[in-house]
Amino acid sequence: MSSDEEAASERADSYVLGLLDASDSAKLEAEMETNSALRAAVAKSRDRFLELDLIGSEQPVSPGLWSRIDTSLGKADVASSGDQPRLEPGNDNRLGRWQKTAYAAIAASLVFATALTYTLVGTSRPQVIAILMDEKGVPLVLVEDFGNTSARITPLADFSAPADRSMQVWTLPNKDIGPTSLGLLDGWRTVTLDSRSLPTPHEEQLYEITLEQPGGSPTGRPTGPILVKGFGKVPR
């Protein structure tokens, strides 16, 4: 086996065992679409370990599970289902796999360009900026957190949320405070949310938007699927 094949097999095994972090997994999944050797290595690895899934006693399933699945399929047919938010593509091209990598680069340069704008234009300067991306790595939202006053949320691409869900913005100031709501988005447009009650935001602070039941999460913690997430950068 060549060293390339060996390296592909090693990555494939780590992926199949769940030992890669979320971003490395996503990277590998994207690469798999164009790299047939990697795809073959993943296929082999999955089938090598599959037997482990088939041993031991089985759990029963709730009697309603099939009808819940059936109902979700119906929703997915009509528009975007609750759990599978669909990005409205800006053009007819299907999202190419290579583009995911490109998007990450775009996001990075957006942070830089945004920071440059504050310097040049002298507008009020956010303490951190975060680009929130969906699970495919597409940047959808810009967050500018002005510290102990407000945070501005700016959509970067079109998106339609399911009509029966609320979009809720969250941040994780630190582990003691835990995930904290910045508020609900009442539409897909630029909005300013109140962040007065939160500590000063810091580098690498997590921001995300989840789809919650109408009126927001009932628990005060994120409960719904994550639409986008990203980490704060201090503009330099």
Partner 1 sequence: MSDSQQVLAAALTACAQGDKAGLRRIFDMEARRLVTVAQRILRRHDYAEEIVQDAFVQIWNKASQYTPERGSARGWIYAIVRNRALNALRDVKRWELMDTDTLERFQDASQDVFSVDLLASLEQESSLRRCLSQLDEQKRKSILMAYISGYTHGEIAGRLRVPLGTAKAWVRRGLASLRECMA
Radius of gyration of the chain (CA): 21
* DSSP at 21: -
Nearest CA to 173 among 182, 183, 186, 165?
A: 182
How many beta carbons lie within 10 A of that of residue 130, not counting itself?
27
Query: Total binding residues for partner 1 by CB under 8 A?
Result: 54
Dmax (CA) of the chain = 65
| Site pattern 135..174 for partner 1 (x: CB under 8 A) | -------------------------------------x--
Binds partner 1 (CB under 8 A): choice among 2, 3, 63, 70: 70
Binds partner 1 (CB under 8 A): choice among 7, 31, 35, 72: 72
Task: In angstroms, give the least distance from the CB of 81 to partner 1.
Answer: 7
Tokens, residue 35: 């790299």
The residues facing 152 across adjacent strands are 144, 192
Regarding 58 and contact with partner 1 (CB under 8 A), the answer is yes
Binds partner 1 (CB under 8 A): choice among 54, 120, 121, 163: 54
Binds partner 1 (CB under 8 A): choice among 7, 35, 37, 39: 39
Which residue intervals of the chain are DSSP H helices?
3-16, 22-32, 36-53, 65-78, 97-121
Task: In angstroms, give the least distance from the CB of 236 to partner 1.
Answer: 26
Q: Starting at the edge strand that comes first in sequence, how are the strands of the sheet with 128-133 ordered?
A: 180-185, 166-172, 206-212, 226-231, 128-133, 139-145, 150-155, 191-194
Regarding 213 and contact with partner 1 (CB under 8 A), the answer is no
**Which residues have C-beta within 8 Å of that of residue 32, sequence separation ≥ 6?**
38, 39, 42
Regarding 52 and contact with partner 1 (CB under 8 A), the answer is yes
How far does Cα 158 stand from its chain's mean position? Answer: 15
Task: In angstroms, give the least distance from the CB of 28 to partner 1.
Answer: 11
Which of 7/115 has CB closer to partner 1? 7
How many beta carbons lie within 10 A of that of residue 222, not counting itself?
21
Regarding 19 and contact with partner 1 (CB under 8 A), the answer is yes
Which of 110/226 has CB closer to partner 1? 226
Regarding 99 and contact with partner 1 (CB under 8 A), the answer is no
Reduced to 3 states, what is the DSSP secondary structure of residue 113?
A: helix
Which of 1/121 has CB closer to partner 1? 1
Residues within the interface to partner 1 (CB under 8 A): 1, 9-10, 13-14, 16-19, 21-22, 25, 36, 39-40, 42-44, 46-62, 65-66, 68-70, 72-73, 76, 81, 83-84, 172, 175, 178-179, 206, 221-222, 226
